[in-house]
Amino acid sequence: MNITFLGTSSGVPTLTRNVSSLALKLSQKAEVWLFDCGEGTQHQLIKSTIKSSQIRKIFITHMHGDHIYGLPGLLATLGLSGNSKGIDIYGPSNLKNFISSALKNSYCKISYPLKFFEVENSAQTNTNLFEDELMEVRCASLKHRLPAFGYRVNEKDKPGQFNLEKAKKLNIPEGPIYGRLHSGQRVKLEDGRILNGSDFCGETKKGESFVYCTDTIFSERAVELSKNVDLLVHESTFSEKDEEMAFEKLHSTTTMAAKTALLSNAKKLVLTHISPRYTPKSVVKPIDLLNEAKQIFPNTFLAKDFLTTKIR
Q: Which fold has domain 2-158+205-310?
A: Metallo-beta-lactamase; Chain A (3.60.15)
d(CA 182, CA 158): 10
- Chain Cα centroid distance, residue 62: 14
Cα 208 to its chain centre, rounded Å, is 12
Which residue is catalytic, options 36, 66, 230, 305? Answer: 66
Helix/strand/coil for 16: coil
Q: What is the pLDDT of residue 84?
A: 84
**Segment 263-270 mean pLDDT:** 98
For residue 28, the model assigns a pLDDT of 82
Q: What is the pLDDT of residues 99-118, one digit of tens each?
A: 999 999 999 999 899 999 99
| Catalytic (active site) residue 66 | yes
**What DSSP state is assigned to residue 53?**
G
Q: How far apart are CA 20 and CA 11, in angstroms?
A: 8
Measure the CA–CA gap between 228 and 234, rounded to whole angstroms.
15
Give the model's confidence band at 126: pLDDT under 50 very low, under 70 low, under 90 confident, else very high: very high
Per-residue CA distances from 122 to 14, 67, 107, 118 (Å)? 35, 21, 33, 8
**Model pLDDT for residues 52-74, shown as the tens digit of each residue:** 999 999 999 999 999 999 999 99
Confidence band of 202 (pLDDT split at 50, 70, 90):
confident
- Is the pLDDT reported for residue 266 higher than 80? yes
- Domains of the chain, by residue range, sit at 2-158+205-310, 164-200
Q: What's the rounded Cα separation, in Å, for the pair 129 and 183? A: 25
Read off the pLDDT of residues 134-185 as tens digits, 9 standing for 90 and up.
999 999 999 999 999 999 999 999 878 888 899 999 999 888 999 889 888 8
Q: Is pLDDT at 12 greater than 90 in this prediction?
A: yes
pLDDT at 40 over 90: yes
